[in-house]
Structure 1
């Protein structure tokens, strides 16, 4: 009965085959691709710097685009200058971006803004480093407040219970007056203070309420998804000095977390 056993399936390659290579347009050359990439990055960032190109992971880095950026400057498409203080001398920008920067030059407070961590409008973790506090770790005072007055652990650790701020999908940044204030971890389970979260009396600093209000508004508008916060600066939120601030911002209290949804 071996002859009755089913053999391997028939190959699925039957049909009519034609060579289509002549019908496909030739791919652009290296120079055209580099020019298109330079224009894309200028559109994306407005002001393009060496650090921004490195953050994009472009093979060859800034030097691979420099000649095309210079060509775009010659053509009048881009401008070279020192547009943003502290970002290095090699800065290229579209003319519209330069005019926008001039129009936004003001001493008026910028207010609160919630950005996706990966948004090109967020310079932190790319053009600019994350705030020093986030890099060095949470202060003992903040950890003590989050623990009801008792410090946790013996040594310093990175802010957010080992989670440093990063440009990852699903994470958010809250800025106040154009300065970083609060980082929302991917998944919305943790909040990381990017500036000192306590005042001299050990209570939540006034900026905490402002940042949480902006975050609550972003959730209500559907710009940020549901949050289920379990940690603040790496410590349990329930029972911490910051729990009441979240409740005042509209979070719902639970046994182990505080939730907020549209």
Structure 2
């Protein structure tokens, strides 16, 4: 039999489309059938929250969109405390008293605090680029986002496709989906943008490796990037190239 010509299989020879609705994008896995027992599901959810966050707060539960909110998770987490599987307390200052944590998370936080009190904290490492909605990014969940610089109306958020660059544990850059708009938090009095050089390089490196696709930065903190000498220099030093629309990085 012949395939792909007249009399062949229906549709043979046509180019197969690799596009589809956004809801079917990403990586798929075959999962076992869902458990109907609500008690089992609630316990599994509580385990997931503790494993994912280490310290579960009201903000972390809200960011996860848990059905029933924090009050629903609180009942199960309290039962975990009674059985010794979690600890409740004022683990992180400023996040309220209703915090639940696994033993290892409390020990690690205490160790870091002891090092800080002794003045032995090491110099911060390289900036970390994360998806804004990644559980490893506490901002917008357990912690509030820092206020944008004065005069900037753009607000960060835990949005699909958005990125955040953390430097010394704080947001330095927020990249809107598609990369056209950046929100930047320079450190202190930094007119030359020296504190943002490494965060910009982190975005450029990810784009260069093909993790972000083509990125064309058009605006930073609400202002056009073209004609801005500081941002043009920072982006070009990181490998971006000027175009009529903005500064571009291709994989």
TM-score by length of 1: 0.72
In the alignment, structure 1 residue 109 sits paired with structure 2 residue 123? yes
Separation in 2, partners of 1:256, 1:108: 41
2:29 aligns with none
CA RMSD across the alignment: 2.3
Structure 1 pair 252–68 and aligned structure 2 pair: CA distance change class (3 A):
same
Separation in 2, partners of 1:157, 1:168: 19
| Structure 1 segment 152-171 matched on structure 2, within 5 A | 156=151, 158-159=153-154, 164-171=155-162
Separation in 1, partners of 2:72, 2:177: 33
Structure 1 pair 220–76 and aligned structure 2 pair: CA distance change class (3 A):
farther
Structure 1 pair 182–261 and aligned structure 2 pair: CA distance change class (3 A):
same
Structure 1 pair 27–157 and aligned structure 2 pair: CA distance change class (3 A):
closer
Please list every run of 5 or more consecutive structure 1 residues that lacks an aligned counterpart in the other structure: 1-24, 140-155
1:45 aligns with 53
Instruction: Please report how far the alpha carbon of residue 210 of structure 1 lies from its aligned counterpart in structure 2 after TM superposition.
Output: 2.0
Instruction: Please report how far the alpha carbon of residue 197 of structure 1 lies from its aligned counterpart in structure 2 after TM superposition.
Output: 8.3
Please list every run of 5 or more consecutive structure 2 residues that lacks an aligned counterpart in the other structure: 1-32, 116-120
2:250 aligns with 261
For the 8 Å contact 1:189–1:231, the answer to whether it is kept is yes
Structure 1 pair 198–230 and aligned structure 2 pair: CA distance change class (3 A):
farther
**3-state SS of paired residue (1:175):** strand
Instruction: Please report how far the alpha carbon of residue 157 of structure 1 lies from its aligned counterpart in structure 2 after TM superposition.
Output: 5.3
| Structure with more contact order per residue of length (Cα contacts < 8 Å, sep ≥ 6) | 1
For the 8 Å contact 1:197–1:204, the answer to whether it is kept is no
2:237 to 245, 248, 253: 248
**3-state SS of paired residue (1:62):** helix
Separation in 2, partners of 1:186, 1:38: 31
Q: Which runs of 4+ in 1 moved over 6 A?
A: none
TM-score by length of 2: 0.75
Separation in 2, partners of 1:42, 1:216: 33
From the CA coordinates, give the structure whose radius of gyration is larger: 1
